[in-house]
Amino acid sequence: MGAREDLRTIRTAESKYEECALGIERGVSGELDGLPGWRWEVFRTPTHVAQLKRMSQIQFMVYRPDGIKAFEWGGLREGE
């Protein structure tokens, strides 16, 4: 894969991660738009911060067409 394809893959994956983190994407897995064979998966785990805020910890992974994990990002999201 060339640099241009790498950048497109990363930007597409970042966009899907943001959709998951913002609660726009409610699914738990799927194919990255426009990238046949590339798949994403997200896990949301409820957690509490300072006992007043309900949060969800997000773990987001992207897999190459051969099934090997290419990227993984994590973060917190309010609610859930």
Our CA angle for 37, 74, 23, nearest 5°, is 80
Helix (H), strand (E) counts: the chain: 1, 4
For the entire predicted model, the pTM comes to 0.83
Note the pLDDT of residue 1.
61
Segments of the chain scoring below 50 in pLDDT: none
